[in-house]
Amino acid sequence: MSLIVQKFGGTSVGSIERIEQVADKVARFRADGHDLVVVVSAMSGETNRLIALAHELQERPVPRELDVLLSTGEQVTTALLSMALHKRGVPARSYNGSQVRILTDDAHTKARIRQIDDQRLRADLAQGCVVVVAGFQGVDEQGNITTLGRGGSDTTAVALAAALQADECQIYTDVDGVYTTDPRVVDGARRLERITFEEMLEMASMGSKVLQIRAVEFAGKYNVPLRVLHSFQDGPGTLISLEEDPQMEAATISGIAFNRDEAKLTILGVPDMPGTAYRILGPVGDANIEVDVIVQNVAADNTADFTFTVGRADLERAEEILRRIAADLDAREVRSDSRIAKVSVVGVGMRSHAGVASQMFAALADVGINIQMITTSEIKISVIIEEKYLELAVRTLHSSFGLDREPRDENTA
């Protein structure tokens, strides 16, 4: 008998019929003798619907109120799933984040979990109850409702698994595991048997939205065995763990990640002297704007061009700041471009294999894609390209690094 935390995403609880199917699954696990804590997301589309309602009223609603609104989505599904379990004769109790006491900081809409009080959950489990917890939400020291950022139910599940020292945290979703790249973009994407926390963290940070980044960080930090599985199909899913897959030694690259969420800013003709980078990026950082890729080129006339990327949502604010800095630095020009995308190849095998970067650049050159910026880490290489070439780039790299699935045998009629 083991303690399992299971999380069901939005599409898996998107209708009463689906909630009934989830209840069947949970009931089967319980019949097998497992203790279960089940975390649910809001019904698919619900969080977006609530955000749109708020924006009908106000362009920038106060984050505290937005959190009160957004947390309702998950409360609905906890109650419905508990009812569906009762209908099957399974004792179950639903809780929202503040009832469990998932204590967070007060950073509304992107709060971080600080502590979880597991007493209530343990008492219910001891009585044979399935505990159903609302994902994506917590409460701050003052008792205000907070939310954990989009996709945050994954983090709720992992944090509960860590707090309860669960045997496994199972993330049920609409794909049967973590793929070499988003299967919605590349038909030939392949399910991975295993991936390390480190690789998954790079994949998630680089845009693979199958797991929230913070959930992966948490799982790595507390060594929570994490598995991504399909809600309604049987299969082994993908195990995310500390160790590499022993059979995967030959593969240098585990996956291709991408995102369209960034924009690029360039300031041209700034003085090439100590302190310039700080004078440009200092005020951007002070405004709480995250900077990702940075490139500086020095020209012959002792000036430099400085380019960096920020989240698209921050572009307008960052550009305003940069125009002010440009005046101070007597820069020639400020340019901005939001039609960019980032593509990354990720794999721990890069540590022991040379030539990954050149293979990547050659593959992109072959299909005529220009690289605007490059950044690397020990297990990742990312390039910024024009957005319209994103899908071509992902497909090209996927096959260049040998990640495509064997074509299905078309002759078996």
List residues binding ligand ASP (CB under 6 A). Answer: 9-10, 41-42, 47, 73, 135-136, 150-154
Kindly state whether residue 21 participates in binding ligand ADP, applying the rule CB under 6 A: no
Q: Which does 208 bind (CB under 5 to 8 A by kind): ligand ASP, ligand ADP, Mg ion, none?
A: ligand ADP
**164, 148, 134: which is closest to 224 by C-alpha?**
164
Q: What is the 3-state secondary structure (H, E, C) of 122-179?
A: HHHHHCCCEEEEECCEEECCCCCEEECCCCCHHHHHHHHHHHCCCCEEEEEECCCCCE
Q: Which does 150 bind (CB under 5 to 8 A by kind): ligand ASP, Mg ion, ligand ADP, none?
A: ligand ASP
Q: Which does 184 bind (CB under 5 to 8 A by kind): ligand ADP, ligand ASP, Mg ion, none?
A: ligand ADP
Site for ligand ADP in 366-405 (CB under 6 A): none
Kindly state whether residue 255 participates in binding Mg ion, applying the rule CB under 5 A: no
Q: What is the per-residue binding string for ligand ADP in 34-73, x denoting contact by CB under 6 A?
A: -------x--------------------------------
Q: What is the per-residue binding string for Mg ion in 144-163, x denoting contact by CB under 5 A?
A: -------x------------
Min CB(153)–ligand ASP separation in Å = 3
Considering only residues 4, 19, 37, 175, which one is a binding residue for ligand ADP as defined by CB under 6 A?
175
Closer of 192 and 326 to ligand ADP (Cβ): 192
CA distances from 178 to 49, 67, 300, 391, 393 (A): 27, 30, 48, 19, 20
Q: Which does 347 bind (CB under 5 to 8 A by kind): ligand ADP, Mg ion, ligand ASP, none?
A: none
Q: Which residue's beta carbon is nearest to the bound ligand ADP? A: 9
Closer of 19 and 42 to ligand ASP (Cβ): 42
Q: Rounded to an integer, what distance in angstroms lies between the CA atom of residue 253 and that of residue 170? A: 25
Closer of 196 and 266 to ligand ADP (Cβ): 196
What would the DSSP string read from start to end of 364-400?
HHHTTPPP-EEEEETTEEEEEEEGGGHHHHHHHHHHH
Which residue has tokens 């899913």? 237
- Sheet hosting strand 137-139, strand order edge to edge: 113-116, 102-104, 137-139, 145-147
Closer of 7 and 380 to ligand ASP (Cβ): 7
Kindly state whether residue 174 participates in binding ligand ADP, applying the rule CB under 6 A: yes
Residue 277 burial class via C-beta count within 10 angstroms: exposed 0-12, middle 13-18, buried 19 and up: middle
Closer of 151 and 347 to Mg ion (Cβ): 151
Q: Which does 174 bind (CB under 5 to 8 A by kind): ligand ASP, ligand ADP, Mg ion, none?
A: ligand ADP
Q: Rounded to an integer, what distance in angstroms lies between the CA atom of residue 239 and that of residue 125? A: 26
**390, 4, 379: which is closest to 200 by C-alpha?**
379
CA distances from 368 to 387, 392, 396 (A): 14, 10, 11
Which residue has tokens 């800013």? 265
Q: Rounded to an integer, what distance in angstroms lies between the CA atom of residue 347 and that of residue 402? A: 13
Which residues, including other chains, have CB under 8 Å from residue 330's CB and lie 6 or more apart?
271
Q: What tokens does 78 get?
A: 């906890």
Min CB(73)–ligand ASP separation in Å = 6
Considering only residues 77, 98, 173, 396, which one is a binding residue for ligand ADP as defined by CB under 6 A?
173
**70, 4, 74: which is closest to 34 by C-alpha?**
4
Q: Which does 400 bind (CB under 5 to 8 A by kind): Mg ion, ligand ASP, ligand ADP, none?
A: none
Kindly state whether residue 209 participates in binding ligand ADP, applying the rule CB under 6 A: yes
Q: Which does 42 bind (CB under 5 to 8 A by kind): Mg ion, ligand ASP, ligand ADP, none?
A: ligand ASP
Kindly state whether residue 81 participates in binding ligand ADP, applying the rule CB under 6 A: no
Q: By CB under 5 A, name the binding residues for Mg ion.
A: 151
Which residues make up the interface to ligand ADP (CB under 6 A)? 9-12, 41, 151, 173-175, 178-179, 181-184, 208-210, 255
